[in-house]
Amino acid sequence: METARNVMTAGTLGALLDRSLVQMAEAAADARTYDRETIYTVSDVWDNNTFPLFRALAARTWWGRDRRARAALEWMAAFGVERRTWMAEQSAIAGYPLLPPSMGTDRHYRHYRDYRGVVRASREPLTTEVAAAVGVDYDLATAEVRSLLLERIGTRLTGALVVTARRRYTSERPADEVAELRLRLDEVTDAHFNSHDSSRITMDFGTGQVAIGMGKRGILRAAGATVHPDDLSWHLSAAGRAFDARTLAGSRPSHEAPPPRWQEPLGEGPLVAATILHNAMLQIRMVRYARHAGEVLVRPLCLAFAGAGKSILAASTYMRASRREEAFRQLVEGWVRKGGPDLAPWFAARLRALAGEVSGTTREWVTSVIPQLERDSEVEGGAASDLPAEAELRLVKYVAAHTRHEHPYAGSALVQLAVPPRPQAGQDESWTLYGWEFTSPHLFQLSDTVFHGATNPQLIGAPGAVRSLSLNGGDLTVATAKLEDPLWRHLGTAAAST
């Protein structure tokens, strides 16, 4: 990829960071349009690109920074067409236009060889041909639903289904071991599921639709779907043997390629700033796990680090080491101030961990910031005792009790709701995200109509007896012998030290 002037500036790299923070803050602004997919995807970019950003900008000359930034951006862009498309779109918004996303070298392999040298499956669009191949290798007639997730991503209803199936082909794995088939569904239009009727899977295709049958009456209909066999013996299957013949010997998944490296170490001030920003991206990325979505302070973190890319570039331009060190200290202190009381425990924990990794005056500075943060760490909010009177369902997940890799797992169900502000809330408060997790549910029943508009959650049953959570008159029912305490985490005021 190149800029319109055939030069990749350091400003482009910083601008992508700033656009990322804006994009994630917008995706988390209101629980009714909470976009967990965007938040995870964007934060994941900076898992492997935060330190290359700081190291690129550590060069002492502007041409050195631009040269390193070009290498860092090329490496970032090599993770596939979707990544390059995102880079082109976001840099253009920031005023740093890149040439079309087809530019650059793609390190993504559709299929690849693992450390054993055997070919591994990748995610494929689910077509009539692919479904037929899956049916050749796996016994769908006895397959069972292991987990089901339906979620509003922004305004789209999406799904994720994991089914377990016995292999039809000869394998070196234990005879009673099952493989997992992982399906993702986009633009779900119809969904019905009952955990008591979850054995036997079918795959049908109509005009512009995919239909996944589950049991006698369960159904998932969507505009499109993908499937990925999670199977260590896949290379022995009919599909695996076919791809083995045309997969390059040296193929590796894109995440195994190392980032660009430069010899000189970061100064201690830049190291503190880079580590804290990297930790923030890892914290935000925790929304990948549905049960943590309401616990992660996505929007407060993004607002605290807003403008970080531009500020890091400015701090990096100082030639004197002492002045550069002071600039990065001021930058970190600015992030801490903008985080306020909600993020005080989070910043205190990170700085406390960093105090042992730096020395001299930098350690003295780090330890001097922590006491004030600890005084500011009283956070309001957290758990709530009552069900909200009104809510919109955002996510529901069911996991059947099972054993995987000889480890037993209890069944569970997770329900996440968008809830309106409290009557006494300020004008700037928006809808927030709450969740309830159940252990070992004995019934999980779902219809997609529960996602259509507001609903009134109800708990049914007497204390000590079997109880259930019901939404929309039973369109969602979760029954369990033991009702766990609610997660009920509030976006923006959950415990920030997590």
Q: Show the 3-state SS of the chain.
A: CCECCCCCCHHHHHHHHHHHHHHHHHHCCCHHHCCHHHHHHHHHHCCCCHHHHHHHHCCCCHHHHHHHHHHHHHHHHCCCHHHHHHHHHHHHHCCCCECCCCCCCCCCCCCEECCCCCEECCCEECCHHHHHHHHHHEEEEEEEEEEEEEEEECCEEEEEEEEEEEECCCCCCCCCCCEEEEEEEEEEEEEEEECCCCECEEEEEECCEEEEEECCCEEEEEEEEEEEEECCCHHHCHHHHHHHCCCCCCCCCHHHCCCCCCCCCCCHHHHHHHHHHHHHHHHHHHHHCHHHCCCCCHHHHHHHCCCHHHHHHHHHCCCCHHHHHHHHHHHHHHHHHHHHHHHHHHHHHHHHHHCCCCCHHHHHHHHHHHHHHHHCCCCCCCCCCCCCCCEEEEEEEEECCEEECCEEECCEEEEEEEECCCCCCCCCCCCEEEEEEEECEEEEEEEHHHHCCCECCEEECCCCCCEEEEEHHHCEEEEECCCCCCCCCCCCCCCCCC
User: Which is nearest to 491 in space by CA: 381, 392, 390?
Assistant: 381
| Contact predicate 480/466, CB 8 Å | yes
Contacts of 353 (CB under 8 A, 6+ apart): none
Half-sphere exposure of residue 335: CA atoms within 13 angstroms, side-chain side: 26
Task: Output phi, psi for 99, to 5 deg.
Answer: -70, 165
Query: Is residue 277 within 8 Å of residue 470, measured between CB atoms?
Result: no
Determine how many CB atoms are found less than 10 A away from the CB of residue 37: 16
CA dihedral of 96, 101, 107, 110, whole degrees rounded to 10:
150
What pTM was estimated for this model as a whole? Answer: 0.86
> Rounded to an integer, what distance in angstroms lies between the CA atom of residue 474 and that of residue 286?
31
Q: Find where tokens 């910083």 sit.
A: 14
Closest CA to 474 of 446, 436, 451, 434: 446
Separation CA 361–CA 29 (nearest Å): 39
Cβ neighbours around 462 below 10 Å, total: 7
pLDDT for res 483: 57
Query: What are the φ and ψ backbone dihedral angles of 81, each rounded to 5 degrees?
Result: -65, -40
The two three-digit tokens of residue 158, written as one number: 């999406």
Q: In Å, what is the CA distance from 153 to each residue of 33, 89, 149, 292?
A: 7, 20, 12, 16
- Length, in residues, of the chain: 498
- Count of beta carbons in the 10 Å neighbourhood of residue 361: 13
pLDDT along the chain (498 residues), means of 10: 49 94 95 93 94 88 86 87 90 79 48 77 91 96 96 92 95 87 96 96 90 96 95 91 74 57 78 96 95 89 96 90 93 95 93 91 92 67 60 94 87 91 71 85 94 84 68 90 52 36
What gap in Å lies between CA 74 and CA 7, rounded to an integer? 12
Give the amino acid at 185. L
